[in-house]
Amino acid sequence: MIPDAELRGLAYITCSSLLIVVMSSIIKIVTLTIPPLEVSVLRSLLSIPFFLFVLPRSETFNLRFFLTKEHFLRSLFGYSSFVTLVLCISTLPLAAVSAIFYTTPIWSFLLSVFVLKERQGVTPIIGLTFGLLGMLAIIQPSAINMSIWIVIGLLGAALGSLTVMMIRRISGTEAPERIALSFMLWSSAMGLPLAIPRWVWPTWDVWPSLFLIGTLGMLAQVALTRGYTLARLVAGAPFDFIRLPASLTVGWICFAEFPTPLMWLGVVLVLLGSSIALAERYFDS
């Protein structure tokens, strides 16, 4: 059966995915009045104070810790992926963006095999295959009208998989909260120069949504980092597909993006793929 530690890791990954769905729906609303690059950097800036509540009491702030090449690359890949996500959310339907970005587990799986040299069984491949088929079923209405934003989204998904790979590389020696805080600090430094030229000061009624985005961003990063600290990349990747049916439901309820029967078939395939991935260790044992 699945070890308790890896099972907790899969739960963290699922929780992170659902938090990202909620955050994405709020971002879609906020970007109607605030430029996407500004929303991206405010997410990072407003997340930093919340880390005071999640960092272990024994931790001391050491700036040198955050200036390593590994933390820089993790943050560069992660922030670039997030910026492409926000840009696509502000332009495309939420369900289409979700489907595009859920190619991340495919990239992650390939990286785990060819870069991290992680061993994989048959069941994760089967789970990813069902998840991929479900993703294609959900994205098919938007794929008919291909645009540059779909290409940008695929690039963002690939960058997201590089982010997960870097988390796996540095999580063995660093606390998840410190890794996530490092990402927010680097993201703020990277994002401010890009956002300032088109800065629009938010009105008072937008600030609660921005703070909520920051809070959800912090929680999602901590959960994601904890998840891939406990679970192998090849085991956790299929569970990122959980965001697909969740985004489809949110888009239907909140943004009147009505799903087709083929999309719901995609949801079934996604859930089936995740269930097969969860059963991997049972089959192996």
pLDDT of residue 285: 47
pLDDT band at 64 (very low <50, low <70, confident <90, very high): low
DSSP 154-192: HHHHHHHHHHHHHHHHHTTTS-HHHHHHHHHHHHHHHHH
Q: Report d(CA 96, CA 260) in Å as an integer.
A: 13
Please give the DSSP secondary-structure letter assigned to residue 68.
Answer: S
Q: Report d(CA 259, CA 134) in Å as an integer.
A: 13
- Every domain of the chain and the residues it spans: 4-284
Q: Report d(CA 125, CA 93) in Å as an integer.
A: 29
pLDDT digits (tens, 9 = 90+) for 152-205: 888 998 898 888 778 877 877 677 778 888 888 999 999 999 999 999 999 999
pLDDT of residue 227: 83
Q: Is 36 left (phi over 0), alpha (psi -120 to 50) or beta?
A: alpha
- Residue 70: name the closest of 157, 159, 168, 158 by CA: 168
Q: Report d(CA 71, CA 90) in Å as an integer.
A: 28
Determine whether 193 is exposed, middle or buried from the number of CB atoms within 10 Å of its CB (0-12, 13-18, 19+): exposed
pLDDT of residue 100: 79
